[in-house]
Structure 1
Amino acid sequence: MRYKVPHGWMMIFLCFVHISAAQHTTDDLRLYDNFKPITSEHVFKTEGYYNWGASIIKGDHGRYHLFYSRWKKEYGFLGWLTHSEIAHATSKSPSGPWTFREVVLEGARNNRWDAITAHNPKIKYFDGTYYLYYIATNLGDHAFTEDELIETAHTGYSHPNWKILRPNQRTGVAISKSIHGPWKRMDKPLLEPTGPITTLTVNPAIESGPDGRYYLIVKGDKPNETRFIRNQAIAVSESPTGPFQILEKPVIDAIDTEDMSMWYDESRNRFYGVFHAEGFIGMVTSADGINWEPSNEYVLMPKKIKRADGSLLVPDRLERPFMYCEDGSPKVLSLAVKQGDSSYTVFIPIENSTYPKPNSRQLAWQEAELGVVFHYDLHVFDGVKYGQGNNRIDPVNDYQIFNPEHLDTDQWVRAAKAAGAQFAILTATHETGFALYQSDVNPYCLKALKWRDGKGDIVADFVASCRKYGIKPGIYVGIRWNSFLGVHDFKVNGVGDLRENRQQWYNNMVEGMVKELCTNYGELFEIWFDGGADHPDNGAPDVLPIVRKYQPNCLFYHNGQLAEARWGGSESGTVGDPCWATFPYVATGAGESAKKNIAANNFQLLKEGDPNGAFWMPAMADAPLRGYNGRHEWFWEPGDEAHVFPLEDLMTMYYKSVGRNATLIMGLTPDPDGLMPQPDVERLKEWGDEIKRRFENPIASTSGQGTTLTLKLKAPHLMNHIILQEDIKAGERVRRYAIEGQVNGQWKTIAQGESIGHKRIQHFDAIKVKGIRLKVLESTGKPILKNVSVFYVPGI
């Protein structure tokens, strides 16, 4: 049945929609890195039963109540459609462990709409009353026996009854004044399929809005589809029991989605919903409850669950996400797991950290300290000096000039390793738009070459070399410029429909390329979008969900939604002093979308960060190896060997980047033969050897917590360097410090500074001391120093 909404109510409703849409709201909810590993306490199984579809509510006396589906295993997994019942369990914590209490709803029989089952519940509390939303089905006028239901369950989809049971699935509600019941069922389902859904209305998600109305999401089949694809519809009512009006616009229309869970975030004035789709658990958001869009964290998590022992749970099926919120914050994500002949519910605790800390990808990136980026593109082969301005707008005349006859990516990676690099990045595409791999979506790639009969794949060679020599591989994707396709600052040239159609084609191609790079070459350490990838709201390709889905351990750098690292404000290989790992914004923006104050004072905010920033975003210092004496060459140029940085300049960069809490990335330039030039190889080796000479063997080391840390030596010793390192897993806590040396029984200040973070290299005039004392003069929490090491480096 489709209910008719009174005209006056609809006018009020439309007015509310207009006002809500005009409000300024922000989607800054970040959960992707806040899911804690699960233990056995977070797993709820019932002996002899399949468990499914959980929903949590907090009751009196601090107890938590779980309502969930279950059916006996003797009926088989498909018995959910014939024998599911709703059970009740309790716990002292929303993450478990849970204890079964009783069955609260079963199939009602008696020729009712919910005669056969009670399944997939959602428990809600509105205005002093509990509402238990659930789905059920019936066999119409067909009389049935228990034996027939058992036969239907065992036979499954091919049984004739399946074609009756499935289209008769509907959503209803049972009501009680007590969480313990009794539960009074409604005589009719809440609504019938219409608008964006057909066939059925199932798996309810409901929330009250700030206007006092109720927003219900249900699942149905997508209309006019020959494929089996589901849609999510939104319905609105003035009452938790209806009547509900299904609106014409679906919640999500782009992909096949399942099983929404929904809540309203008062602090953000936004609705949120989680769902599951192929390969991931996703999140959408809405400012008004009606117009929904992907959240900035659209891919909330891949369908893999971390265990406390470090292993991963990768189930056969991971569905029915439910987000339990308390005091306005998500606390637990529950998921239904199907693994072999078992199904159960897991409850993933969510960390609510108010202090910025690195995620696992950022931590690995900072601990790597030094990496390289190999720039390679068509114009390396034209014998003409690279000019960035014309390279961005003028296509290379003949792409067949690409012919690295002696290509040796092993040699590239060995050179990087000799310098001490822990990771290496390759420009899979740059400003010409030419792709250095076998792409099925971009025809302007190595497939088009005569070189290696069109079968070459430099990305594959590069990644294999990295793994051979223990270097972590990363990929640089240039999408902001593409001279071949006429893309300038993300925008395809042209006017009208021609431009719009080409822009959509380009965006689809870029998204396809990112998926190829994320799925064809194994695990990546970093993906680097040159100049950022802009925000999809600005018409840019939507790349973040692809990386999140297929490369959950890959550092994302960066677009308008997220920057897991930040450019350090120059291409000098140095950052400011101090240089904090925190930043006031979750993204730096790209091109014209960047916030104006980020570029102020010659990018001071990027160079120094913000000690009070809410987001962890460590700095990247970058420079080309061939940048000495007025040159700045990211790509190989003929006759440029004299512009390789001298060793002393490289060490200065190291001190002013790695030694100032940044990660240094050095640009390297393979030549037209496909080799790193020998002068560059030799300089990299000298650099690596010098870093080891200075810092491989400390005189002494210590670690500890607190505002004072003392390192005593067995005898007075000359020293001129100290390395300080915080345990940044707990965040960046030290704000100001002093280093004192014990000279002739007296403590003397020999150095001081502000930030420490992952690493601070303090260089001072040589002094003979009997001990070192670190005094933290100001901090935002208990300082945790994982390393204090002293060195004497002769000759500097």
Structure 2
Amino acid sequence: MSIKKIVLRLKNRLVFVAAIGAFLPFYANGQTAPTPVGPVPNARQIEWYHREIIAFFHFGMNTFTNDNEGDGTASPERFNPTALDCNQWTSVLKSAGIGTAIFVAKHADGFCNWPTAHTNYSVKNSPWKNGKGDVVKEFTDACKSAGIKAGIYLGPHDRHDSRYGTADYSDYYASQLSELLRNYGPIWEIWWDGAGADKLTQAFYTRWADSVRHLQPNCVVFGTKNSYLFADCRWMGNESGIAGDPCWSTINPSSIKEEPDHINELNHGEVNGTAYAPAEVDVSIRPSWFYHTEEDAHVKSVAALWDIYFNSVGHNSVLLLNYPPNKEGLVSPIDAKRTDSLGALIRGTFKTNLASGAAIKTLHSRGAKYQPSYMVDNLENTYYAAADGFNTDTIVFNLGAAKTFDVLMLQEVIELGHRTTGWSVEYSKNGKTWIPIPEATGKQSIGYKWLVKFKPVTATQVRLRITDGKASPAIHTFGIYKQQM
């Protein structure tokens, strides 16, 4: 054989080996990865889910007129915060472990918190900083300095501008959207409120969504009504902080569009929905969205915030928690303290998974690459998967000793879609008699994260029964915890 042929054959073999190597993550030990089922999240949505809690900052003309829904007639002269400090806002978030914030650049009253070139109804005509101020810039600069992702609420509804609902208004809004997306660094979410925005057609949002995708490709779109086709996440049907049980990430787009007739679908999602648009749970730490002194005595307690956390983040959703800065331009000390306490409670409770190190037995393990121990290893890129053809499973965690817990967590591999549609958890003190946890019995959805709290129980073994599914289970995490008040 000639040297030339030998070299050619070696090259071909190297190409073949390289090609096989590229597929080794999927075929290691002869085990293929589970095939995704139904709609699955895009990269923006996966990153969005990992934020878990997002802060909302409602601050503007309504703060100074003591309104929640201004009519757009208040003079810009009334806007004059005496001690505005967005670094104070972000310090509150850093202390609580909140890594993303959305600022209301323009609410429905039409007043703009940045010196936009497209209307005089903005901070440039206020006495604050002699008209030279820019709250959006101070907010985004503070976020950048603190390592917090910045998002923008640009209200589609506008009570100040007489062009609202016309083609001219579409131009106006597009110009303002461009200013915000071009001039303030990365914008990680754009919030398109559906309240009052019925006059805005799908064509308007098509144009505006094109701008978002062109200027900020990593930006998540909160969509409603006529922006439903572009929604990376959806409204969940109330402002009380309660997502449904079940709460699917999937939904039919028409259910997002027709809000009044589809509150149930918004709250619960639809297990066979054709779009992946998970719920974002918006609620204020106070009774109102904007600051009012008289509400200082009505800030939500830590216990109430803890319940909201379980009913939002713990129901396969992301929590959007509002902090309305006061007339000085600061987050109230009361709000800050409650937020700090919530953050400490979350960190303390979920610091130690009492199932870590458990001996685990399953009925239908897929193999070594997807072994049961990966459910409790606290690593991002490992998970347990059952063999194809088995949509149910029984998974027993032998804890090795009696342990007391009152919280459990379950996470699916969201990149593989909603797979499990029925599950329950039981515990045993002797490995023979199994006692159901009522709050974790007859459950359906899992998704990114499902949390359950209950009265403390003591057990040596815990059993997860997957009773129904669309495909073989793929479980990222199973955890049991003791609440740390």
Query: TM above 0.5, one fold?
Result: yes
> Which residues of 2 match residues 314-463 of structure 1 at below 5 A?
355-382=38-65, 385-388=66-69, 391=70, 393-396=71-74, 398-463=75-140
Aligned mates of 2:228, 2:346 — CA distance in 1: 36
Q: Give the helix-richer structure, 1 or 2.
A: 2
- 8 A Cα contact 2:68 2:290, kept in partner: no
> Which residues of 2 match residues 188-199 of structure 1 at below 5 A?
none
Q: 2:194 aligns with which of 531, 545, 554?
A: 531
Q: Which amino acid aligns with 2:458?
A: K
Q: CA deviation at 1:586?
A: 6.5
Give the unaligned 5+ runs of structure 2.
1-18, 24-34, 357-372, 376-383, 387-392
The TM-score, its normalising length taken from structure 2, stands at 0.80
Q: Does 1:757 align with 2:442?
A: no
- 8 A Cα contact 1:510 1:541, kept in partner: no
Q: 1:483 aligns with which of 130, 135, 159?
A: 159
Corresponding residue for residue 75 of structure 1: none
- 8 A Cα contact 2:250 2:271, kept in partner: yes
Q: Deviations over 1:420-445 (max 9, x none)?
A: 32210000100121111132233322
Give the unaligned 5+ runs of structure 1.
1-96, 98-307, 309-351, 492-502, 628-632
The 3 A distance-change label for structure 1 pair 560 and 757 is closer
Partner SS for 2:50 = helix
Partner SS for 1:669 = coil
The 3 A distance-change label for structure 1 pair 663 and 560 is closer
Q: Deviations over 1:329-367 (max 9, x none)?
A: xxxxxxxxxxxxxxxxxxxxxxx9872101111111112
Q: 1:604 aligns with which of 240, 249, 264?
A: 264
- 8 A Cα contact 1:562 1:586, kept in partner: no
Q: Give the strand-richer structure, 1 or 2.
A: 1
Q: Which amino acid aligns with 1:395?
A: T
> Which residues of 2 match residues 544-559 of structure 1 at below 5 A?
544-558=209-223, 559=227
Q: Deviations over 1:620-640 (max 9, x none)?
A: 11111112xxxxx10011232
Q: CA deviation at 1:653?
A: 0.6
Corresponding residue for residue 720 of structure 1: 406
Corresponding residue for residue 279 of structure 2: 619
Q: Give runs of ≥4 in structure 1 deviating > 3 Å.
A: 532-541
Larger Rg: 1
Aligned mates of 2:279, 2:259 — CA distance in 1: 17
Q: CA deviation at 1:416?
A: 2.2
The 3 A distance-change label for structure 1 pair 358 and 537 is closer
Q: CA deviation at 1:755?
A: 0.8
Over the matched positions of the two proteins, sequence identity in percent amounts to: 31
Aligned mates of 1:406, 1:509 — CA distance in 2: 31
Q: CA deviation at 1:541?
A: 7.7
Q: CA deviation at 1:794?
A: 5.8
Q: Does 1:732 align with 2:429?
A: no
State the structure with bigger RCO (CA 8 A, min sep 6), 1 or 2.
2
Q: Does 1:580 align with 2:242?
A: no
Partner SS for 1:718 = strand
Q: Which amino acid aligns with 2:436?
A: T
- 8 A Cα contact 2:68 2:289, kept in partner: no
Corresponding residue for residue 648 of structure 1: 303
Q: Deviations over 1:62-108 (max 9, x none)?
A: xxxxxxxxxxxxxxxxxxxxxxxxxxxxxxxxxxx9xxxxxxxxxxx
The 3 A distance-change label for structure 1 pair 539 and 660 is closer
Q: Which amino acid aligns with 1:370?
A: I
CA RMSD of aligned residues (A): 2.3
Partner SS for 2:309 = helix
Aligned mates of 1:505, 1:410 — CA distance in 2: 37
Q: CA deviation at 1:588?
A: 1.6
Corresponding residue for residue 12 of structure 2: none
Aligned mates of 1:394, 1:445 — CA distance in 2: 11
The 3 A distance-change label for structure 1 pair 672 and 378 is same
The TM-score, its normalising length taken from structure 1, stands at 0.50
Corresponding residue for residue 347 of structure 2: 692
The 3 A distance-change label for structure 1 pair 394 and 472 is closer
Aligned mates of 2:484, 2:256 — CA distance in 1: 41
Aligned mates of 1:354, 1:731 — CA distance in 2: 5
- 8 A Cα contact 2:255 2:266, kept in partner: no
Q: CA deviation at 1:694?
A: 1.8
Q: Which amino acid aligns with 1:543?
A: W
Aligned mates of 2:101, 2:183 — CA distance in 1: 18
